[in-house]
Amino acid sequence: MVARLSDSRFAEAVSAARAQVSDRLDEVTAEITECERLQEELAAKLGRRELTLKAFETANAPLAESLHALYAERDKLSGGSPEGPTAAQPAEVIAQQWDSAEPAERRALFTQALGQHTMVIDPAIKDRKRKWDPARVRIADHVQAAA
């Protein structure tokens, strides 16, 4: 994780990927804002009794469905971590952040390091003592589900 986050090639790749999706991310964010604004207006009309509950539910259902899809797209476009690195930091700085981090902060660092990849921990060799073996850990673009 430290090596990956301190690698300038990784930071450049993150920066390039952000530039590619930036326009669509702006569009998605604007659509989310508009859907949320419409929901608020509908709720206000319902509160003032200018709209029946049935009419509210009919109007709100497609907005809620759109928002669900838009939130998912926003998360996918941002990699779930819109505040990720755009410039590499020295390995010592990353290691210090890791050492002083709480579990949630460590998960965020780990997510930044993985990006769109998946971490795979291969099975342990049965003849050996039970201990942590970093050689069993690998990063994959995708993982097939076990049958």
pLDDT digits (tens, 9 = 90+) for 24-73: 888 999 999 999 999 999 999 999 999 999 999 999 999 999 999 999 88
pLDDT band, very low/low/confident/very high, at 127 (cuts 50, 70, 90):
confident
User: How does pLDDT run across 5-22, given as a tens digit for each residue?
Assistant: 666 766 666 666 666 667
Percent of the chain surpassing pLDDT 90 = 30
Q: Tell me the pTM.
A: 0.47
The answer to whether 30 and 126 are in contact (CB under 8 A) is: no
